[in-house]
């Protein structure tokens, strides 16, 4: 892994789960991690309920735009985290792949998105503990 690890979050529409995960990682890791997100079939805009749920915890993802998943994005990332995109994510040797089973917030109101947001935060905290084990020493 490079000095500054890069993490790619992938879901189908790049409008909910992957955008929230990217927002959490950027917020919690600061500039220590390069954060990317993409989708196998990107939506026109980020899910408004995801934007609202993240705003409730002080993270603004309103300016994000769903992006198409590219081979280059995967190849340039140290860790690829998929969230319900099936086999759409290309596999490259030497990359770390994780698949996070999370409910899809598409079509859901903010009440349904909050628990997904909170689960993503917990998983991001675990990922950071793995990426930066030196932070865990007391």
Beta partners for residue 37, in sequence order: 9
Q: Which of 7, 11, 25, 80 is catalytic?
A: 11
Q: Which of 7, 79, 85, 124 is catalytic?
A: 85
Q: Is 80 a catalytic residue?
A: no
Q: Which of 15, 38, 89, 113 is catalytic?
A: 89
DSSP string, 84-137: S-GGGS---TT-EEEE------TT--HHHHHHHHHHHHHHHHHHHHHH-GGGG-
The size of the chain, in residues, is 138
Q: Please identify every residue annotated as catalytic.
A: 11, 85, 89
């Amino acid at each position: 892994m490079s000095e500054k690890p890069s993490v790619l979050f992938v879901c189908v529409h790049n409008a909910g789960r992957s955008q929230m995960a990217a927002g959490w990682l950027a917020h919690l890791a600061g500039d220590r991690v390069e954060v990317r997100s993409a989708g196998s079939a990107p939506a026109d805009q980020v899910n408004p309920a995801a934007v609202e749920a993240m705003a409730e915890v002080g993270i603004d993802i309103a300016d994000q735009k769903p992006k198409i998943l590219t081979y280059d994005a995967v190849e340039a990332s140290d860790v690829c985290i998929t969230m319900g995109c099936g086999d759409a994510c290309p596999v490259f040797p030497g990359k770390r792949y994780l698949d996070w089973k999370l409910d899809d917030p598409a079509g859901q109101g903010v009440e349904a998105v909050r628990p997904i947001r909170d689960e993503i935060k917990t998983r991001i905290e675990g990922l950071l503990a793995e990426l930066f084990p030196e932070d865990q020493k007391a």
